[in-house]
Each structure stands twice: as structure tokens, then as C-alpha cells.
Amino acid sequence: MKSRTDQLQHIKENNIDVLVIGGGINGAVSAAVLSAAGIRTALVEARDFAGFTSQNSSNLIWGGIKYLESFEFGLVRKLCRGRNRLLKAYPTSIVETRFIAAVGTRATHSRLAIWAGAWVYWLLGGGFTAIPRLLSRSRCAKEEPVSAIPELLGGVEYSDGVLREGDARFVLGFIKRATRCGCAAVNYTSVTSMKERVGRGWEVVLRDEQSGDSLTITPKAVINAAGPFVDRLNHQSGVETTHHHRFSKGIHLIVDRLTPSRRVLSFFARDGRPFFVIPIGNRTCIGTTDTLSRSPEAVIAEEDRQFVLDHINTHLNLKRALTRTDIIAERCGVRPLAVAHQDQTETTPFLELSRRHTIETDPERQIISIFGGKLTDCLSVGDEILREAAKLGFKGHPGDWFGEPPLASRESFCDQGEELLQDSEADIDLQRLWRAYGEGAIEILGRFARDRHQMELLLPGSDLTRGELEWVRENEMVVTLDDFLRRRSLLAMTFKAAELASMPGLKVVSRILFGASGDTCYNRWCEGAGLTPRQVEADDSGDRQQQKESQCKPIAHSSQGSPGG
Ligand SMILES: Cc1cc2nc3c(=O)[nH]c(=O)nc-3n(C[C@H](O)[C@H](O)[C@H](O)COP(=O)(O)OP(=O)(O)OC[C@H]3O[C@@H](n4cnc5c(N)ncnc54)[C@H](O)[C@@H]3O)c2cc1C
């Protein structure tokens, strides 16, 4: 991926056919499918890529077993198909995972009813996954000792998928793929206004949130993939749609590993909704909630936190109850739910609203708006966008726009990696590198081979190496330290912010990413996390000069060399 400056220059200098607004999952798949079909596409994202809803999901690629309760068989079948396609296309980063639905005396459904539901689910999923199992109380307690509370009656085991490297990295994968097909994609760049040029597309004003500069471009068509901001943007631009959004807030808490297995455990919350215990890296993610939010910018309330902690303490047999001090990190987002009419947005109880996505196309005004959606359904969204773009006159053949590199590349990477790391002290997880970077992992290995210094581990308790970080700096458009800790890696989900800040290696990380601005970026991140920046100088070979820059700027790079950290 070229630098931000190059991407912005590309947008300025080239005629763009389609401008995609929003770098969440819906925008990312739109950009990937259109550019792979040879359509001149650009994507702009006001924050970091996947910096809003798409970084706050449960990381599940699932067929939506809970929607069987509301008899939405069509939706479940569609989601199961989407899940199966993703499991096939991403064999290492999305893994079939066994879920155990633990059933207690207070559950809203009996164990047999859930078992029957799991079979219907399996059938709707075309029998793609391992078959469901009915678990007795003792079997459930033996396989998952944390589920053994006095009220436990037994459980049901079934399969769905989990994103091993997290939702944000999954989204970034599509954006990187789009750029390889010629799409210009840039983060921290907002659409501030849009005006229709009757019969000639749109005049769109962009603001570079880093420099404050504005830029006007004239794409022939626009895709509004602004997630929870779709209505706001349409309203500002005078675009009328049949569908609108309502928002459902959901939160997750990240805590230390609660069970050694990589299974997902599920329970029924007080309101009858399923509640999950999900592995994330080497931690556990617990949640979620589902409450009405009037605004896209939702924040975690104390009662949300308490709801999640109470549930986990009630449904798991833990050595001691979890409290606020056990929380490593928090995630909060709103689900943009598509509703058909303005009046429905006000009257229908929102827990009953369907979780389907809808795409509205206005061929006259040359604009497409995407409402709702799930990570799980992203390939369908991409397919539909290609069809809708054809209605606007942009015809292209579906290209190769998703999926992991071929198995043979992975095998060769693993062989080379194992040989290279044979006599290295560093305990580097090759599988993680492959899941996160695909063929980029081969380049990282090349760095290790050329210079063993590149295998230096930077943070205790993690296998982040200098070589990996330098590769990320040159290929993944990291603008702030939070981009790296929260969305390019799982580090912000693995360590408490204060713990990270106290690691001398974090300053080294920041200097490798941002060169002379490294300490400023580190201080900014600390301030953002409500911490006092650690004053000690890190013991590294990086630039220690007093920092004067006012912005976090990634250091310049060429595709040839790799400037030292
Ligand atoms: C708590 C929770 C749990 C979930 N769990 C799952 C799950 O396990 N599995 C699953 O499949 N789905 C799940 N979902 C649903 C899924 O995460 C969302 O539906 C999806 O991420 C929405 O993606 P999006 O691209 O529509 O929106 P977003 O990810 O919000 O992307 C829209 C982007 O547009 C940008 N933008 C807005 N305005 C502008 C502008 N003017 N200029 C430029 N950019 C702009 C925003 O910054 C934003 O990044 C969950 C959602 C939540 C909230």
C-alpha cells in the first residue's frame, strides 16, 4: 500500500469513476470488488480504516442462530452461506470453532429445544460444519469446567466461525487488496460536502484530517458506505432514501483468559439474548449488550459494564468474581440496523428489527447507499455492489477480490520460517504472521533472513518483532500509535493501556513507526488513554532528539529500503 500522500495525490490527479465513502467492512468490500473488476475506484475514511463500528464487533462469522427464535429462516440461511464462503476462502484467519451453549435452570429455552434448533441451524448451513452434540451436565462440566455452576443442566455444541486476528485486520485485508488493483484508499480523510452535478456525477469536498487541507474531486458516482453515518451524509447531500438506520449499542469487555480451550461459550442473558465468552488472541472477550442508542457515537455506561460483569459472574464457575479491575480493554459500537420507513424507525421495538442489509441505488443521481450489514455477510454485499454499479453504467467482470493466498504459498512460508527460526532465541508465531499478513509474511521472513537484528522482540509478552513492525510501517498506513495497537495488532486487547505505557519497548515501537515524531505520538497516545507519558528514555538505537512536531506523521519510506528505527 502506498503512503497517504501518494494515495491523496492519486485521488487528486486521476479521474475517479466511483468514490466509496467509509472504510468499514461495507466500504472495504465495495472498493475491493469494484477495483478488481477494473472500475476506477477510490475510498476515503474519516478515521482509521475500520476505525468505527467494524472494530467493535464480537469477531464472529456466524449464521445468526439466535434469529431462528424470530423464525427468520431466510436470513439465517443467507448468513450461513456467507459464513461458509468465508470459512472456505479464509482457512487460517477464520476458523470453524465449536460453541457450547450452556443451559441452566433459568434459561429461556430447554436443552432439547436448543438441540433441535442447532440441527435446524446445521441443516440451513448445508451441513458444512461439524454436527451438533447434546451434552449432559457432567459432559459439559468436564469439557468446560467454567460452565459447571449449580444451575447447569447441560449444553449443546455446534459450530460457527471466529476471526482469529480480529475484525479490523479482516477489513484492512479488503482495502489492501483494493489498492493492489489500483484503488486509491486513504484514511483520516473525510467527505465534508457533496453536491450533485446534474447528469455528470458529484462534486465532493474532502478534508485531510491530518493536514487540514481540502480537496475537491468529481467522481462519476458515489457509494455511501458510511455505516451509522449513512443517513447523516445523505441528508446533508439532499439524497432521499426509503431505508434509514436505527442504532443498537453493544459492548464487550476484554479480560484475562477464562478457559484454556479455544471454544466459544454462550449463555442466555436476562433479556433472553445470547451472551458470549469468546477467545481473542490470548485473552477472552465477553459480551454483548443490545440497547437502543439515539446516536452513532455511543459510549460505555457504568450499567453496561455492570450488566456484562454480573452475567459472567452468574453464568460461570470462576475462582473469584470478576470486577472492574479485571477489565483489560473495552469495546463499544452501534449496530446500524436497516429499517424500511421513517415511521417504522419510531414504532417497532428495536430488538425485533431484522439484521438484514439493504442496498439502495439511485441510477439518476448516481449514488448507492448501504444500510445495515454484518461482517459475516460481506461477500454478498460485495457481489450486490458489483451488480448495482452496473445499473449506474459501471460494468466489469468479477475479479479475484477476496480470500487468502493459495495453500502452497503458506506451506512454503512455514517451511522457510521453521528453518530460519530453528536456531533463533525468539519465539515467533509463524501462523500468526501468516494469518495477519498473508504473502506479506513472506517479505517479513525475508527481512529476518537478511538481518537477524530484525528478529528482535520489542514488547515483553508479545512476539512483535522489529522486522514485522517495519513492514507494517511501510505497508499499512499507520497514522497514530492507536492505529497500530488497536487495529493493526491485538496489543490493545492484550494489555491494559497503563501496562503498555510502562513498557520501555512501546517508545521504541512508536519511534520505529513514526521516526522523529515517535515520542510525540507516544505522548499523544498516553494522553488519549488518560495516562501520564512515561518520562524514561527507552533503551534503543532510535532517534532521541527532543520532539517538536505537532502531529504524528508516519516516516517517509520508499518501496526499496527500510529506514532504521
Ligand atoms: C457490538 C457489536 C457486535 C457485532 N458483532 C458482529 C459479529 O460478531 N459478526 C458480524 O458479522 N457482525 C457483527 N456486528 C455487525 C458489524 O460489526 C457491523 O454491521 C459492521 O461492522 C458495519 O460496518 P459498516 O462498514 O457499515 O460501518 P462502519 O464500520 O462504521 O464503517 C463506516 C465508516 O464510514 C466512515 N465515515 C462516516 N462518515 C464519513 C465521511 N463523511 N467521510 C469519510 N468517512 C466517513 C466512518 O468513520 C466509519 O469508519 C456487530 C456490531 C456490533 C456493534
Interface predicted TM-score of the whole assembly (ipTM), two decimals? 0.99
Q: How far apart are CA 18 and CA 563, in angstroms?
A: 35
In the predicted model, is pLDDT for residue 59 greater than 60? yes
Q: Which domains does the chain have, with CATH numbers?
A: 4-54+167-243+340-391 (3.50.50.60), 91-164+246-334 (3.30.9.10), 411-451 (no CATH), 456-565 (no CATH)
User: Is 60 exceeded by the pLDDT of residue 358?
Assistant: yes
Q: How far is the CA of 488 from the centre of ligand 1 (A)?
A: 17
pLDDT, residue 348, reads 66
Rounded-to-10 torsion of CA 532, 547, 479, 227: 50
Angstrom distance (rounded) from CA 246 to CA 351: 11
Q: Which atom of ligand 1 is nearest to the CA of 370?
A: 26
pLDDT over 90 (residue 542): no
Percent of the chain with pLDDT over 90: 84
Contact 273, 66 (CB under 8 A): yes
Query: Across residues 57-64, what is the average pLDDT?
Result: 96
Higher model confidence: residue 552 or residue 539?
552
Q: Using 50, 70 and 90 to split pLDDT, how confident is the model at 547?
A: very low
Instruction: Please give the number of the atom of ligand 1 that sits closest to the Cα of 296.
Output: 30
Q: Please give the average per-residue pLDDT across 161-182, as a whole number.
A: 97
More confident residue, 328 or 564: 328
Determine whether the shortest distance from the Cβ of 225 to ligand 1 is under 6 A: yes
- List pLDDT tens digits, range 371-394: 998 999 999 999 999 999 999 999
Binned at pLDDT 50, 70 and 90, residue 559 comes out as very low
Beta carbon of 374 within 6 Å of any ligand 1 atom: yes
Could you tell me the sign of the dihedral formed by the alpha carbons of 491, 165, 53, 401, in that order? positive
Strand pairing report for 264-268 and 367-371: unpaired
pLDDT of residue 443: 97
**Residue 144 Cβ contacting ligand 1 at under 6 Å:** no
Q: Which DSSP string do the residues of 336-395 spell out, in sequence order?
A: EEEESSHHHHHHS-GGGS----EEEEETTTTEEEEE---STTHHHHHHHHHHHHHHTT--
Closest CA to 454 of 471, 442, 440, 437: 471
Q: What integer is the mean pLDDT of 189-210?
A: 96
- Residue 376 CB less than 6 A away from ligand 1: yes
Ligand 1 proximity of 381 Cβ (cutoff 6 Å): no
**Residues 87-110: what's their mean pLDDT?**
93
pLDDT number for residue 49: 98
Could you tell me the pLDDT band of residue 553, with boundaries at 50, 70 and 90? Answer: low
390/221 Cα distance (integer angstroms) = 11
* Parallel, antiparallel or unpaired: strands 41-44 and 221-224: unpaired
Q: What is the pLDDT of residue 426?
A: 84
Residue 63 Cβ < 6 Å to ligand 1: no
Interval 119-137: pLDDT, tens: 999 999 999 999 999 999 9
List the Cα angle 263/269/273 in 5-degree steps: 85
The share of the chain scoring above pLDDT 70, in percent, equals 92
Mutate to test the pocket of ligand 1, among 54, 223, 224 (most ligand atoms within 8 A of CB): 54
Contact predicate 217/43, CB 8 Å? no
83 lines ligand 1 (CB under 6 A): no
pLDDT of 537 > 60? The answer is: no
For residue 296, the model assigns a pLDDT of: 96
Question: In the predicted model, what is the mean pLDDT of residues 497-512?
Answer: 96
Q: Which of 68-72, 166-170, 257-261, 413-417 has the lowest mean pLDDT?
A: 68-72
Which grid cell is 62?
456466524
**Atom of ligand 1 at shortest range from CA of 49:** 49
What does the pLDDT average to over 176-194?
A: 97
Q: Is the CB of 356 under 6 A from ligand 1?
A: no
Using a 10 angstrom Cβ sphere, with 0-12 exposed, 13-18 middle and 19 or more buried, the burial of residue 76 is: buried
Helix (H, G, I), strand (E, B) or coil at 202: strand
- What is the C-alpha to C-alpha distance for residues 142 and 480, in angstroms, rounded to an integer? 45
Whether the per-residue pLDDT at 563 is higher than 50: the answer is no
User: Is the CB of 250 within 6 Å of ligand 1?
Assistant: yes
- pLDDT tops 70 at residue 507: yes
- Cα within 13 Å of Cα(519), Cβ side: 15
Judged by phi (left if over 0) then psi (alpha if -120 to 50, else beta), residue 59 lies in left
pLDDT in the model for residue 345: 54
Task: Indicate if the pLDDT at residue 92 is higher than 70.
Answer: yes
Burial of 82 per CB tally in 10 Å (0-12, 13-18, 19+) = buried
pLDDT tens digits for 6-31? 999 999 998 999 999 999 999 999 99
**Which residues have C-beta within 8 Å of that of residue 283, sequence separation ≥ 6?**
254, 255, 256, 257, 328, 493, 494
Q: Is 229 in the pocket of ligand 1 (CB under 6 A)?
A: yes
The per-residue pLDDT of the chain, averaged, comes to: 91
User: Which region among 116-130, 417-431, 477-491, 541-555 has the lowest average model confidence (pLDDT)?
Assistant: 541-555
Nearest atom, ligand 1, residue 336 CA: 19
pLDDT digits (tens, 9 = 90+) for 329-356: 999 999 999 998 755 556 666 666 778 8
Confidence (pLDDT) at 320? 96
